[in-house]
Amino acid sequence: MDITDLKKQFIALYGGDETGLRVFFCPGRVNLIGEHTDYNGGMVFPCALSFGTYLVIRPSGLPALRFASTNFDFKATVELDAITEKLPGGAWVNYPLGVINELLAAGLNPSGQDLLYAGNIPNGAGLSSSASIEVLTAYAFNELYGLGLDRIELVKASQRAENRFVGVNCGIMDQFAVGLGRKDAAIRLKCDTLEYELVPVVLGDYRLIIANTNKRRGLADSKYNERRGECDRAVEELSKAGRIEFLCELSVAEFEKRQHLISSDVIRARARHAVSENERVKVAVQELKAGNLKAFGALMNASHDSLRDDYEVTGIELDTLVAEARKIDGVIGSRMTGAGFGGCTVSLIHKDAIADFKEKVAANYTAATGLVPDFYVAEIGDGAKEILS
Ligand code: GLA
Query: Which residue, by CA, sits nearest to atom 8 of ligand 1?
Result: 170
Question: Which residue from 35, 38, 130 has its CB within 8 A of the most atoms of ligand 1, so it is best to mutate?
Answer: 38
- Is residue 8 over pLDDT 80? yes
- Is residue 217 over pLDDT 80? no
Q: Work out which ligand 1 atom sits closest to the CA atom of 173.
A: 9
147 CA to centre of ligand 1 in angstroms: 28
64 CA to centre of ligand 1 in angstroms: 33
Burial of 372 (0-12, 13-18, 19+ CB in 10 A): exposed
Predicted pLDDT at 88 = 86
- Is residue 21 over pLDDT 80? yes
Predicted pLDDT at 250 = 98
Pocket flag, ligand 1, residue 227 (CB < 6 Å): no
170 CA to centre of ligand 1 in angstroms: 6
Predicted pLDDT at 12 = 98
Instruction: Give the closest residue to 25 by CA, choosing from 46, 56, 47, 2.
Output: 56
pLDDT band (50, 70, 90) for residue 369: very high
Instruction: Give the closest residue to 360 by CA, choosing from 323, 319, 388, 334.
Output: 323
**Considering the chain, what is the average pLDDT of its residues?**
96
pTM of the model: 0.97
DSSP 351: G
Q: Work out which ligand 1 atom sits closest to the CA atom of 339.
A: 11
Instruction: Give the closest residue to 51 by CA, choosing from 70, 17, 72, 27.
Output: 27
Residues 161 and 98: beta-carbon distance below 8 Å = yes
Averaged pLDDT, 80-98: 92
Pocket flag, ligand 1, residue 277 (CB < 6 Å): no
Cα distance between residue 175 and residue 44, in whole Å? 12
- Is residue 91 over pLDDT 90? no
Pocket flag, ligand 1, residue 78 (CB < 6 Å): no
Q: Which residues 6+ apart lie within 8 Å of 61 measured at CB?
A: 112
45 CA to centre of ligand 1 in angstroms: 12
Cα distance between residue 380 and residue 50, in whole Å? 6
Q: Work out which ligand 1 atom sits closest to the CA atom of 130.
A: 8
> How many residues appear in the chain?
389
Partners of 54 in beta bridges: 25, 118
C-alpha dist (Å) from residue 82 to 146, 286, 309? 23, 50, 47
Averaged pLDDT, 194-207: 98
DSSP 194: T
Helices (H) and strands (E) in the chain, counts: 11, 13
Cα distance between residue 146 and residue 133, in whole Å? 20
- Is residue 346 over pLDDT 80? yes
Cα distance between residue 348 and residue 277, in whole Å? 18
Pocket flag, ligand 1, residue 178 (CB < 6 Å): no
183 CA to centre of ligand 1 in angstroms: 21
Predicted pLDDT at 218 = 65
Predicted pLDDT at 11 = 98
DSSP 122: P
Q: Work out which ligand 1 atom sits closest to the CA atom of 131.
A: 8
User: Residue 260's CB: how many other CB atoms inside 10 A?
Assistant: 10
Q: Which run of H or E residues covers position 30?
A: strand 22-31
Q: Which residues are catalytic?
A: 174
Phi, psi of 221 (to 5 degrees): -65, -40
Q: Work out which ligand 1 atom sits closest to the CA atom of 126.
A: 7
C-alpha dist (Å) from residue 249 to 121, 145, 147, 299, 303? 34, 39, 35, 20, 18
Residues 219 and 201: beta-carbon distance below 8 Å = no
Residues 230 and 222: beta-carbon distance below 8 Å = no
pLDDT in tens, 284-334: 999 999 999 999 999 999 999 999 999 999 999 999 999 999 999 999 999
Percentage of the chain surpassing pLDDT 90?
Answer: 95
339 CA to centre of ligand 1 in angstroms: 5
Phi, psi of 33 (to 5 degrees): -165, 155
Predicted pLDDT at 133 = 98
Residues 115 and 155: beta-carbon distance below 8 Å = no
Pocket flag, ligand 1, residue 338 (CB < 6 Å): yes
pLDDT in tens, 255-277: 999 999 999 999 999 999 999 99
Q: Per mean pLDDT, which range of 41-45, 155-159, 221-225, 333-337 is the poorest?
A: 221-225
Q: Which residues 6+ apart lie within 8 Å of 378 measured at CB?
A: 30, 47, 49, 50, 207, 208, 209, 210, 346
Percentage of the chain surpassing pLDDT 70?
Answer: 99
Cα distance between residue 318 and residue 339, in whole Å? 11
Domains and CATH numbers, the chain: 3-200+382-387 (3.30.230.10), 206-378 (3.30.70.890)
Query: Which residue, by CA, sits nearest to atom 9 of ligand 1?
Result: 171
Predicted pLDDT at 219 = 60
Cα distance between residue 110 and residue 64, in whole Å? 9
Q: Which run of H or E residues covers position 55?
A: strand 46-59
- 3 state SS for 59-118: ECCCCEEEEEECCCCCCEEEEHHHCCCCCCCCHHHHHHHHHHHHHHCCCCCCCCEEEEEE
DSSP reduced 3-state for 41: coil
Averaged pLDDT, 154-160: 98
Strand-strand pairing, 64-69 and 113-119:
parallel
Averaged pLDDT, 336-350: 97
Residue type, 317: E
DSSP reduced 3-state for 196: strand
